[in-house]
Amino acid sequence: MRKNINTSLTLLLIIGFNISLNAQSKKQQILSLESKIDSIYKLLEFERVENLKTKNNLNETIEKQNKTKIYDEEKKAELNTKLKQKNIENINLNLANKLLNETIFISRDSLNKQKLLSNNLIFSNELLNKRIIELKDSIKALQFNVEKLIIENSEAKKQPSKKLNSHLNLKVYNAQLSDYLVGDINPSDDYDPALEWLSQIGNSISSSTLSSQGKVNYRMSNISDLNTNTAWVEGETEYGIGVKLTFEMNFEKEFDNDPNAKFGAVYQIYGKFLMANGYCKTDVSWKSNSRVKQFIVYLNQEPLCIVNLLDKKQWQEFDISEILLKKDIKNRDKLIFEITDVYKGEKYKDTAITEFLGFTMGN
């Protein structure tokens, strides 16, 4: 705007100078000057109006910016207030969550203590009941041993089955030739796959075992190896009367609390047994060594029954499940077979058993 005004003034000076030089054309120059002055005035007025508009626009813009700034500050203050409220809420929630976790921990700890106390009470009760049962069994065993000593002292050794039964009133079971494996035991024949459907009775322990002779051993595990060339032989100097074959129950299970991991369950033994009596490797070994004639059967220390065996080089079986299934037999309970009489061998006093297995409920 100033540049335009300066230009106009310079023009006026030039025009005035020309007027003084040319007096004759003064009138025309004055008229022209008036016209130009009028144009300059209009131009100046236009620029003044435009500047005023620009100023007003600038003022409006500044006012709007000020209003926006005030609004933003108010909004920012409002947001800060809300943020503070949220922070307070989060702090309260964290405190509540911490209190809840502490409450849950205390409740769980109290529950675990109550559960432990309950389990201890149950265990103590079970232990007490087991101890009572063991004491009862011990009393029965003591009575049995006393009566047995009386019988032995009365020289009743030659017929222990009748004497013991008359005193103890135990039921007698007689073995019979097996319908499951029929015929003479001949190890030279092909292996009979039917043996694979039987099971060992339990973890086997013998109170007496004959020492190995060279590469041949007579250990207890031979009676469940499904091999009729091997045998268990007792190691007493006489015929092995009183030697005990102990089987500790060990029911296989796939997982904890398996309902089939107990006596008489599916695929577990239930009280029927298969035996190859004597040393069945050859006819000579069978005749030369002694064979079991009679067992007394115990559950732990409780006498259960008497079993009379056959003097045959054939598979024989006996079933005492009617007694055993009435008992609550668990893992680590012991099934004991005590030799009370034998069939004497032609050459040796050693008493042998080739195989002694249990039928399973799965059969």
Q: What is the pLDDT of residues 280-336, one digit of tens each?
A: 999 999 999 999 999 999 999 999 999 999 999 999 999 999 999 999 888 889 999
Judgement on whether residues 183 and 316 belong to the same structural domain of the protein? yes
- 187 falls within a domain: yes
In this structure, the answer to whether residues 108 and 164 fall within a common structural domain is: no
Same-domain check for residues 237 and 97: no
Cα separation of 54 and 149, whole Å?
135
Last residue of a domain, one of 106, 124, 154: 154
**HEC assignment per residue over the chain:** CHHHHHHHHHHHHHHHHHHHHCCCCHHHHHHHHHHHHHHHHHHHHHHHHHHHHHHHHHHHHHHHHHHHHHHHHHHHHHHHHHHHHHHHHHHHHHHHHHHHHHHHHHHHHHHHHHHHHHHHHHHHHHHHHHHHHHHHHHHHHHHHHHHHHHHHHCCCCCCHHHHHHHHHCCEEEECEECCCCCCECCCCCCCCHHHHHCECCCEEEECCCCCCECCECCCHHHHHCCCCCCCEECCCCCCCCCCEEEEECCCCCCCCCCCCCCCCCCCCEEEEEEEEEECCCCHHHHHHCEEEEEEEEEECCEEEEEEECCCCCEEEEEECHHHHCCCCCCCCCEEEEEEEEEECCCCCCCEEEEEEEEEECCC
pLDDT greater than 60 at residue 264: yes
Asked if residue 326 belongs to a domain, the reply is yes
46 & 118 share domain: yes
Provide the CATH number for the domain around residue 232: 2.60.120.260
pLDDT at residue 54 is higher than 90: no
Specify whether 170 is located in the same domain as 148. Answer: no
Position 224 in a domain: yes
User: For residue 152, what pLDDT is reported?
Assistant: 57
CA end-to-end distance (rounded Å), the chain: 121
**Rounded-to-integer distance, Cα 166 and Cα 160, Å:** 10
* pLDDT higher than threshold 50 for residue 157: no
Asked if residue 19 belongs to a domain, the reply is: no
Both 149 and 202 in one domain: the answer is no
| Distance of alpha carbon 230 from alpha carbon 210, whole angstroms | 13
pLDDT of residue 145: 64
Exposed, middle or buried by CB within 10 Å (0-12, 13-18, 19+), for 263?
Answer: buried
The answer to the question of residue 18 being in a domain is: no
CA distance 2 to 209: 134
Asked if 235 and 305 sit in the same domain, the reply is yes
Residue 16 domain-assigned? Answer: no
* pLDDT beyond 50 at 163: no
Q: Over range 137-160, report the average pLDDT.
A: 58
pLDDT, tens digit (0-9, with 9 covering 90-100), for 103-123: 788 878 777 887 777 777 787
Task: Read off the amino acid at residue 70.
Answer: I
Same-domain check for residues 70 and 125: yes
Are residue 213 and residue 79 in the same domain, yes or no?
no
- 154, 180, 213: which is the final residue of a domain? 154
pLDDT given at position 11? 65
Q: Which of 111-125, 153-167, 219-233 has the highest mean pLDDT?
A: 219-233
* Stretch 137-147: mean pLDDT: 65
Provide the mean pLDDT of the chain.
Answer: 80
The structure tokens listed for 310 are: 């056959």
pTM, entire model: 0.55
> Alpha-carbon distance 287 to 240, whole Å?
17
Q: How many domains does the chain have?
A: 2
d(CA 161, CA 131): 31
Asked if residue 38 belongs to a domain, the reply is yes
Residue 352 has pLDDT above 80, yes or no: yes
Q: How confident is the model at residue 168 (pLDDT cuts 50, 70, 90)?
A: low
174 and 144, same structural domain? Answer: no
Domain assignment present for 22 = no
Half-sphere exposure of 160 (CA within 13 A, CB side): 21
Domain co-membership, 115 together with 168: no
Last residue of a domain, one of 154, 170, 205: 154
Which amino acid, one-letter code, is at 133? Answer: I
Number of Cβ atoms within 10 Å of the Cβ of 118: 10
Domain that holds residue 342: 159-360
Q: How far apart are CA 279 and CA 273, in angstroms?
A: 18
Tokens of 189: 């024949």
Give yes or no: residues 165 and 216 share one domain: yes
